[in-house]
């Protein structure tokens, strides 16, 4: 059974601080996605990583896919209050496979 774990579960930091959240699994994924979800809304895709060791940057966000394609990390530099939300990782073992979501990391950035 595929299972994605995320850590930490909750994170509260001051504006301007850096942070890293992690997504881990015992399964190998063909692709892994990171989403951000705000209260009352659906998840919004931030990035998809496909290749082991791949690093993608989206402004202040840096995403890395583990070499073995079992884990990923999201690093945020100089966090802003607008970064507040639930960060979800999700993976597919193969194309057309069902998407498995982790439980999420709830981030709160305090001004």
What does the binding site for another protein look like in residue numbers (CB under 8 A)?
4, 6, 35, 40-45, 48, 88, 90, 95-104
For another protein, the closer CB: 35 or 65: 35
Q: How far is the CB of 16 from another protein (least distance, A)?
A: 28
Q: How far is the CB of 94 from another protein (least distance, A)?
A: 9
For another protein, the closer CB: 17 or 41: 41
For another protein, the closer CB: 4 or 109: 4
Q: In whole angstroms, give the CA distance from residue 96 to residue 7.
A: 27
Q: In whole angstroms, give the CA distance from residue 16 to residue 54.
A: 26
Q: In whole angstroms, give the CA distance from residue 30 to residue 44.
A: 20
CA 79 to chain centre: 15
Q: How far is the CB of 73 from another protein (least distance, A)?
A: 17
Q: How far is the CB of 101 from another protein (least distance, A)?
A: 4
Q: In whole angstroms, give the CA distance from residue 69 to residue 52.
A: 5
CA 24 to chain centre: 10
For another protein, the closer CB: 9 or 77: 9
- Beta carbons of 27 and 93 less than 8 angstroms apart: yes
């Amino acid at each position: 059974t595929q299972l994605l774990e995320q850590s930490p579960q909750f994170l509260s930091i001051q504006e301007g601080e850096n942070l890293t959240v992690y997504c881990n699994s015992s399964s190998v994924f063909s692709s892994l996605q990171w989403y951000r979800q705000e209260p009352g809304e659906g998840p919004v895709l931030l990035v998809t990583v496909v290749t082991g060791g791949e690093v993608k940057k989206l402004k202040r966000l840096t995403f890395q896919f583990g070499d073995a394609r079992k884990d990923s990390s999201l690093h945020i530099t100089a966090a802003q209050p607008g970064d507040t939300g639930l960060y979800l990782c999700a993976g597919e073992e193969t194309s057309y496979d069902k998407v498995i979501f982790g439980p999420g990391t709830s981030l709160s950035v305090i001004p």
